[in-house]
């Protein structure tokens, strides 16, 4: 059985903001990927994955999905019994969509009606996102459905609002001094508790006000400038966004990166932001001079994902 590969995703902009109707920009990341496979389940990894699928199948069986998006859960269960597992190198708890890729793979294989990603209309995208949100809620408590959507479509997606998502072209990566990169915090993060902290913060009027008036404004301005490849306003708003997160998302910033986050703001050599919900996993870095930033971030494992 050769099943399609589903890539990880990176939410460049919009973490937490998309819950409150900010824009978001997200893209597939082919360095990490996963696919459904059969085996005799000899290894611990395969056995564990298969067991997870058993409990997930029970969840899916009780899920009420719209008719056009129904899943053949019976076939799914039969194949699990025959040794199905999810072969993936996507790190869990790193904010790069490990559960999103799994949901996308299951939907692609077991959806009763076939959907061609390249022919999906904007309206269908909206409905598909809702379905994926229901399917992925098993892993995070509440899911926007964005991660599986990116993994399924394998295209950059612009989240325009809570209700509207669309495909988007991002400027091509080219050899230059600047870079967007991932920094490994060295610890995993759990989405559930981080989202809980966010909702607690949202209960205070001051936080709600600054999120709407500052965070969302900087976030949307970054997306707009990035898509236009307008790097001066991009970095201007990025600094404000990074500083805002340093002030207001402190519990979500891994301790190991707290000082270097501030160092970037003070020196203007690079700016950091959350990659997904934070608490661990990856953090995103942006710089006009990667060589300089790399030296300043010596000791941290980094992966360049985009050059300009």
Q: What is the pLDDT of residues 164-186, one digit of tens each?
A: 899 999 998 888 999 999 999 99
Average of per-residue pLDDT across 148-175: 90
Q: For residue 35, what pLDDT band results from cuts at 50, 70 and 90?
A: very high
Average of per-residue pLDDT across 141-164: 88
Would you say residue 97 has pLDDT above 90? no
Least confident of 15-24, 87-96, 141-150, 182-191: 141-150
Cα angle at 133 between 7 and 136, to 5 degrees? 60
In this prediction, residue 114 carries a pLDDT of 86
* Beta carbons within 8 Å of 255's beta carbon, 6+ residues apart: none
Report the C-alpha gap between 160 and 18 in whole angstroms. 9
Give, to the nearest 10 degrees, the angle between helix 73-81 and helix 44-61.
Answer: 160
Beta strands in 49-173 (DSSP E): 84-88, 157-159, 165-167
CA dihedral 10, 13, 18, 22 (to 10 degrees): -160
CA–CA distances in Å: residue 143 to residues 18, 36, 129, 292: 11, 22, 10, 38
Helix (H) or strand (E) holding 218: helix 216-227
**DSSP β-ladder status, 24-38 and 6-13:** antiparallel
Please report how many Cα atoms fall inside a 13 Å half-sphere around the Cα of residue 292, on the Cβ side: 13
Please classify residue 13 by burial: count the beta carbons closer than 10 Å to its beta carbon, then call 0-12 exposed, 13-18 middle and 19+ buried: buried
Residue with the larger pLDDT of the pair 270 and 21: 270
Q: For residue 1, what pLDDT band results from cuts at 50, 70 and 90?
A: low
Average of per-residue pLDDT across 48-58: 98
Mark residue 21 as left, alpha or beta (left: phi above 0; alpha: psi -120 to 50; beta: remaining): left
Cα angle at 142 between 181 and 148, to 5 degrees? 50
Would you say residue 190 has pLDDT above 90? no
Look up the pTM and report it.
0.88
In this prediction, residue 247 carries a pLDDT of 97
In this prediction, residue 235 carries a pLDDT of 98
Q: How many CB atoms lie within 10 A of CB 301?
A: 11
Would you say residue 3 has pLDDT above 80? no
Report the C-alpha gap between 89 and 32 in whole angstroms. 6
In this prediction, residue 65 carries a pLDDT of 95
In this prediction, residue 7 carries a pLDDT of 95
* Proportion of the chain above pLDDT 70, given as a percent: 99
Least confident of 78-87, 183-192, 204-213: 183-192
Q: For residue 276, what pLDDT band results from cuts at 50, 70 and 90?
A: confident
In this prediction, residue 2 carries a pLDDT of 63
Domains and CATH numbers, the chain: 6-167 (3.30.230.10), 179-307 (3.30.70.890)
Average of per-residue pLDDT across 107-135: 91
In this prediction, residue 195 carries a pLDDT of 86
Report the C-alpha gap between 157 and 168 in whole angstroms. 6
Average of per-residue pLDDT across 214-227: 98
User: What six digits make up the tokens of 238?
Assistant: 């990025």
Report the C-alpha gap between 116 and 200 in whole angstroms. 40
* Beta carbons within 8 Å of 149's beta carbon, 6+ residues apart: 100, 104, 125, 128, 129, 132, 157, 165
Q: For residue 268, what pLDDT band results from cuts at 50, 70 and 90?
A: very high
Average of per-residue pLDDT across 100-115: 95
């Amino acid at each position: 059985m050769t099943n399609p590969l589903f890539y990880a995703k990176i939410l460049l902009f919009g973490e937490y903001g998309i819950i409150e109707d900010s824009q978001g920009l997200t893209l597939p990341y082919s360095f990490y990927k996963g696919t459904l496979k059969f085996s005799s389940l000899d290894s611990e990894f395969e056995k564990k994955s298969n067991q997870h699928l058993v409990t997930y199948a029970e969840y899916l069986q009780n899920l009420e999905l719209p008719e056009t998006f129904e899943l053949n859960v019976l076939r799914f269960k039969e194949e699990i019994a025959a040794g199905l597992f999810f072969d993936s190198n996507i790190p869990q708890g790193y904010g790069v969509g490990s559960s999103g890729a799994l949901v996308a793979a299951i939907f692609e294989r077991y959806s009763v009606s076939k959907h061609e990603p390249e022919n999906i209309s904007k309206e269908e995208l909206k409905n598909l996102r809702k379905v994926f949100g229901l399917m992925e809620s098993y892993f995070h408590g509440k899911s926007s459905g964005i991660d599986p959507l990116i993994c399924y479509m394998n295209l950059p997606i612009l989240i325009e609002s809570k209700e509207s998502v669309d495909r988007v072209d991002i400027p091509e990566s080219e050899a230059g001094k600047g870079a967007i990169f991932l920094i490994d915090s060295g610890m995993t993060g759990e989405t559930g508790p981080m989202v809980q902290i966010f909702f607690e913060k949202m209960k205070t009027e001051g936080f709600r006000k600054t999120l709407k008036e500052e965070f969302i404004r900087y976030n949307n301005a970054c997306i707009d400038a990035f898509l236009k490849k307008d790097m001066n306003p991009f970095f201007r708003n990025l600094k404000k966004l990074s500083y805002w997160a340093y002030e207001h998302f402190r519990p979500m910033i891994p301790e190991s990166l707290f000082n270097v986050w501030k160092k970037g703001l003070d020196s203007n050599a690079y700016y950091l932001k959350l990659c997904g919900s934070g608490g661990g996993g990856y953090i995103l870095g942006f710089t006009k001079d990667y060589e300089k930033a790399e030296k300043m971030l010596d000791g941290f494992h980094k992966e360049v994902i985009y050059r300009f």
